[in-house]
A and B are shown apart, each in its own frame.
Chain A
Amino acid sequence: MSSRAPPVELDFLGLHANAAATEHHGKSSAASSSSIRGMETSAIARIDPQLLRRVVVARPPVTAEEAPPAAPSPMTVFYNGSVAIFDISHQKAEAIMRMAREVTTAKRGDLGNTTLVADSAKDIPLARTKSLHQFLAKRKERLTRMGPYQLGRPGTTSGSNIKSLRVKKEAEAA
């Protein structure tokens, strides 16, 4: 990108409408999550800067060739009464704004807990015990090694296979 893109302002959560209500709520709850050690902080400012830098600087997933070169340009974020400016590439900015749009529209569509619950199941897959995992991996290895004609597979009769093996052994011994 040779020139700076015009500044884009996104009202992520319809905050301009709810600003007063949100701030009042934020200040009144006892152990409000909007303060650490008595200092008022914003959501973004509360993220460990190291972590945020890691995310922001991390290589994006491999995308198609048409992705524009990643020249960083400033992105200004207004949130909950505070401002943060990030130097990020166009792709990252797109990703963040896309994420924000998705969540915003989902929220407006009366999310409730059900969709979140469905997401959680996708994100948290069922884990397997290590011993069983190792066994299944070894089994797969044996099956691929032996090929489709291995003995003992379903569909093959055991008797004929042993007989054929004995015949083979006799032939070898002869």
Chain B
Amino acid sequence: MGGEVPSPRRLTRALSSDSTSYLPDEALHLVLAHVDAPRDREAASLVCRRWHRIDALTRKHVTVGFCYAARPSRLLARFPTLESLAIKGKPRAAMYGLIPDDWGAYAAPWVAALAAPLDCLKALKLRRMAVSDDDVAALVRARGHMLQELRLDKCSGFSTDALRLVARSCRSLRTLFLEECSITDKGGEWLHELAANNSLLVTLNFYMTELKVAPADLELLAKNCKSLLSLKISECDLSDLVGFFKAANALEDFAGGAFYEVGELTKYEKVKFPPRVCFLGLTYMGTNEMPVIFPFSASLKKLDLQYTFLTTEDHCQLISKCPNLFVLEVRNVIGDRGLQVVGDTCKKLRRLRIERGDDDPGLEEEQGVSQLGLTAVAVGCRDLEYIAAYVSDITNGALESIGTFCQNLYDFRLVLLDRQKQVTDLPLDNGVRALLRSCTKLRRFAFYLRPGGLSDTGLEYIGQYSGNIQYMLLGNVGESDLGLIRFAIGCTNLRKLELRSCCFSERALSLAVLQMPSLRYIWVQGYKASATGLELLHMARPFWNIEFTPPSPESMLRMAVDGEPCVDTQAQVLAYRSLAGQRSDCPDWVTPLHPAA
């Protein structure tokens, strides 16, 4: 808008009051319809009642960060024109086997609420939730005809019967995502029915599941779904997929399969990937099978080598042929040498994940990854936005280099493995300060060390320079409660915090929570837990749920002997903002804490 800025009073009248003012509702509708970013929408809805109402009527997508934070019916009533809904359930620790199966996060209440008139909903994503066959059936009854995207990410509790129902009833399905789900396999007919009934499928993903499917059905799927762009499957010998690859002309992403017979290159010679393939992740691929990728290496944009049998030398050889990679996922067998090749070759790299390999030193070639490799990557790959690395050694200098060279980082996660006795340069106080000061775009941060890895001063730095970081995972940081409190005082924008294996007391945790104005979720394990969690009530307040898992019996006895809490593996604290009141479906080993009425 040109001209001078209107005076504040005119602007207020224009934007708020009634619909006969300068900005009619219809105009506001149109303007807000172009606002998609969740934080912007959040801000817009808080301006005034009118904006809140119009945001609610025009909101297309909502992510419920934690399923117990909101009541399903209330949320869906607020957003009647919702097209896409994503819900996250169990704490992230569930991915590491730290949360028993009966913890909760049931899809049922959400699915039941979706049966209500929601004319526009076409996409549903559930992450780390307990989903039953009945839930899927209810969903299909309510939404089946309209459903275009169904994503069940790391969910469990359902079987292939549910998939058959989806295959038969959801003819508009473009995306079926089931990665890392625990699914009871009652047969592979679901894939046949999907292939026979659907012609619109673009993405099919059942990677990292144990489902057994027939290659002929995949071939049928490729023939019927001309738009199939992405297929990620469970284990299935690659030599059986020759027919599928011939038929799937549009395919760009492929992951899974398997090389069952290592060394039998003749068997896999016939495997020819479709021409547009630019993402590959081939399970059990070894040195001898690697040449299968070479014809495509220059056009590869994403490469997943986490589940291969490649050596350090193999990584060096393969990656040197892939100058156009945006995403690379490996285990730490890549070594510093391999990371040097990454830094030299992959100038466009945006995401790098270095997972933890086997602890048995005989099985993995090099000694893992260290400050040398990380520095090489930082210097070479200036466009990096995401780095997640399990390292065996690290220095302050390396962290500083990452901060200096990778200004676009929005997600940084570092885990220091506990295999190596000596770490070159601890504590990492100065390095982490330099990194956080430089990387102003950082929104997610994980720092998991070992005792002595970060002093109380270092922990205070993290808080002080946390900037706009919204999620943090911290492990083995700090030395005392004071460090935690000082950290908390600095974290003005932190929304979600996970703490593991730290020495803090319940009182300190409570006081820290009260210092963090944006905090809506905190999970703690491996701290100085008391028998009853009573000191956690210091953080009791309205719309704040506190759930306590008591320590093990052994720790309880030890506490009785010591007279004070000790660090315990079983005890957990989960506290979160909620508009839904206390959970009513806690298992018996979780105790909700609240002040006596």
| Partner pick for B263 among A36, A51, A130, A150, CB 8 A cutoff | A150
Q: Which of B306, B450, B479, B562 has the most CB of A within 10 A?
A: B562
Query: Which of chain A's residues has its CB closest to B554's CB?
Result: A55
Chain A residues closer than 8 Å to B556, beta-carbon distance: 47-48, 51-52, 55
Do A152 and B287 touch (CB < 8 A)? Answer: yes
Residue interface mask A104-139, B partner, CB < 8 A = 1: 000000000110111111011111111111011001
Chain A residues closer than 8 Å to B266, beta-carbon distance: 162, 165-166, 169
Query: Which of chain A's residues has its CB closest to B556's CB?
Result: A47
A8 at the interface (CB under 8 A from B): no
Complex-state Cα separation, A43 to B528, whole angstroms: 15
Stretch at the interface among B141-149, B374-382, B430-438, B495-503: B495-503
Given A31-B537, A99-B558, A129-B95; A117-B476 close (CB under 8 Å)? yes
Q: Which of B95, B284, B525, B567 has the most CB of A within 10 A?
A: B567
Do B567 and A116 touch (CB < 8 A)? Answer: yes
Within 8 A of A (CB), among B335-363: 355-358, 363
Do B561 and A154 touch (CB < 8 A)? Answer: no
- Size bracket of the B interface: 35 or more
Do B535 and A33 touch (CB < 8 A)? Answer: yes
Complex-state Cα separation, A52 to B283, whole angstroms: 48
Within 8 A of B (CB), among A142-174: 142-143, 146, 150-152, 154, 158, 161-162, 165-166, 169
Within 8 A of A (CB), among B554-579: 554, 556-563, 566-569
Q: With contacts defined as CB atoms under 8 Å apart, how many contacts are there between chain A and chain B in the complex? A: 161
Do A131 and B208 touch (CB < 8 A)? Answer: yes
Chain B residues closer than 8 Å to A96, beta-carbon distance: 557, 561
Chain A residues closer than 8 Å to B264, beta-carbon distance: 165
Chain B residues closer than 8 Å to A103, beta-carbon distance: 558, 561-562
Q: Quote the shortest CB–CB distance from B281 to chain A (angstroms).
A: 12
A44 at the interface (CB under 8 A from B): yes
Count the A residues whose beta carbon is within 8 Å of the partner chain — how many? 58
A16 at the interface (CB under 8 A from B): no
Do B451 and A120 touch (CB < 8 A)? Answer: yes
Given A47-B531, A96-B561, A117-B479; A123-B356 close (CB under 8 Å)? no
Complex-state Cα separation, A37 to B207, whole angstroms: 52
Q: Which of B286, B535, B556, B596 has the most CB of A within 10 A?
A: B556
Complex-state Cα separation, A142 to B283, whole angstroms: 13
Do A128 and B356 touch (CB < 8 A)? Answer: yes
Q: Quote the shortest CB–CB distance from A154 to chain B (angstroms).
A: 5
B474 at the interface (CB under 8 A from A): no
Given A120-B502, A124-B500, A165-B263; A131-B180 close (CB under 8 Å)? yes
Query: Which of chain B's residues has its CB closest to A12's CB?
Result: B561
Query: Which of chain A's residues has its CB closest to B290's CB?
Result: A158
Chain B residues closer than 8 Å to A33, beta-carbon distance: 530, 532, 534-535
Chain A residues closer than 8 Å to B331, beta-carbon distance: 132
Interface residues of B, dominant DSSP: loop
Do B263 and A162 touch (CB < 8 A)? Answer: yes
B246 at the interface (CB under 8 A from A): no
Complex-state Cα separation, A139 to B566, whole angstroms: 38
A75 at the interface (CB under 8 A from B): no
Residue interface mask A83-110, B partner, CB < 8 A = 1: 0000000000000100110010000000
Do B306 and A143 touch (CB < 8 A)? Answer: no
Nearest 8 CB-CB pairs, A to B? A151-B263, A127-B96, A124-B526, A152-B286, A124-B501, A120-B567, A117-B451, A44-B560
Please list the residues of chain B having a beta carbon within 8 angstroms of any beta carbon in chain A.
93, 95-98, 180, 208, 262-266, 283-284, 286-289, 306-307, 309, 311, 313, 331, 355-358, 363, 365, 415, 417-418, 448, 450-452, 476, 479-480, 500-503, 525-526, 528, 530-532, 534-535, 537-538, 553-554, 556-563, 566-569, 596
Please list the residues of chain A having a beta carbon within 8 angstroms of any beta carbon in chain B.
12-13, 31, 33, 36-37, 43-44, 46-48, 51-52, 54-55, 58, 79-80, 96, 99-100, 103, 113-114, 116-121, 123-133, 135-136, 139-140, 142-143, 146, 150-152, 154, 158, 161-162, 165-166, 169
| 29 A-B interface contacts by CB (under 8 A) | A13-B563, A31-B534, A31-B538, A37-B596, A55-B553, A55-B554, A103-B562, A113-B480, A116-B566, A117-B503, A120-B501, A123-B569, A124-B501, A124-B567, A126-B415, A127-B98, A128-B356, A129-B96, A130-B95, A130-B96, A131-B208, A133-B97, A135-B307, A142-B284, A152-B287, A161-B263, A161-B288, A162-B265, A162-B288
